[in-house]
Amino acid sequence: MRKSVRLAATLLVISSGFVACSALKTGVQSDDAPANPRDVSNVPDAVPRAEPLSRYGNPESYKVYGKTYYTLPSSKGYTARGTASWYGTKFHGKRTSSGEPYDLYAMTAAHKTLPLPTYVEVTNLKNGRSVIVKVNDRGPFHGDRLIDLSYSAAAKLDILQYGTGQVEIRAIDTQQVATAAPPAESVAVPDATQANEALYLQVGAFSSRGNAQRMQADLQSQNIGAVRIVETSTAAGTFFKVQVGPLASHTEVNRVTQDLKTLGINNSHSIVR
């Protein structure tokens, strides 16, 4: 399996300018997952909150391997699509560009130009899974990669086994919302006395209707059953939720859940309507 790589620049304030310190990694280095990894399926997303800019890692510009990068003055309105990679044990415990130690089990990421810190929603364009991470590091300085994800974030997006994946990232405006996650929905499955309730399996939530429609079409082509898109407006923005159903019983919920897992969708959850 091809492993992703990461080259990190840790930037320190020195007098009136910024320079890369000795933590700058040179050359292309291999990276690995933990030998005995924890189960990260229940690791919560980063919770967006308003924070001052880090003392470190926010120069107006900096240079790595002869290329100059310009730090964005603000992340407001930032969206982009590109290749995501991930980094693991080689950098675990080492200082990030913001000064925080890198924790491969935390929901964090590295980006070349976003202000540190910035909270972003990352969506895997292949399977529709989304996570929220805190950008607290610089990188990846390899090829045309857009963002470097922590081990946990990559695992939850199902990118680990491929090394890289195509993603959409959207910066979250922490001045407007305390969290960018959609409001929590009930995941309880009704008992027999609630048989008149409609059951659905939610398989994805997107900020883009087009991404939701693509996932809907992919699922319908696999004969999963009826697939709908529910538009929800929240303080965090508008989300397009892809849901399979209605499903008639617990047995059908379990059957469809297993069918979804064969398609690589492991994070579906039941909701009641």
d(CA 233, CA 21): 45
pLDDT at 12: 32
pLDDT of residue 123: 92
Given this model, what pLDDT does residue 176 score?
Answer: 63
Instruction: Tell whether the model's pLDDT for residue 8 goes beyond 50.
Output: no
Edge-to-edge strand ranges of the sheet holding 237-247: 227-234, 237-247, 199-206, 269-272
Write down the pLDDT at residue 115.
96
| Interatomic CA distance for residues 112 and 52, integer angstroms | 19
pLDDT at 42: 79
The pLDDT score that the predictor gives to residue 5 is 36
47-105 pLDDT, tens digit each: 888 899 999 999 999 999 999 999 999 999 999 999 999 998 777 888 999 999 999 99
What pLDDT is recorded for position 219? Answer: 87
pLDDT at residue 30, as a whole number: 52
Measured distance CA(206)–CA(216) in Å, rounded: 12
Exposure string (b/e) for 231-243, b if CB count within 10 Å is 16 or more? eeeeebbebbbbb
Residues of the chain with CATH 3.30.70.1070: 192-272
Task: Output the CATH code of domain 192-272.
Answer: 3.30.70.1070
Q: Is 121's pLDDT higher than 50?
A: yes
Single pTM value for the model: 0.59
Q: Of the spans 26-30, 41-45, 54-58, 236-240, which averages the highest pLDDT?
A: 54-58
Higher pLDDT, 268 or 5: 268
What confidence category does residue 273 fall into, taking pLDDT thresholds of 50, 70 and 90?
Answer: low
Q: Which residues, listed in sequence order, are joined to residue 85 by a DSSP beta bridge?
A: 148
pLDDT tens sequence across 162-218:
889 999 999 998 876 543 344 444 334 434 334 456 788 888 778 788 888 888 888
User: CATH 2.40.40.10 occupies which residues in the chain?
Assistant: 11-171
Q: Above 50 in pLDDT, residue 11?
A: no
Across 25-152, the runs of DSSP E, i.e. the strands, are: 61-64, 67-70, 79-87, 108-110, 118-124, 130-137, 145-150
CATH class entry, domain 11-171: mainly beta
Q: Over pLDDT 90: what percentage of the chain? A: 35
User: Which DSSP symbol is given to 179?
Assistant: -
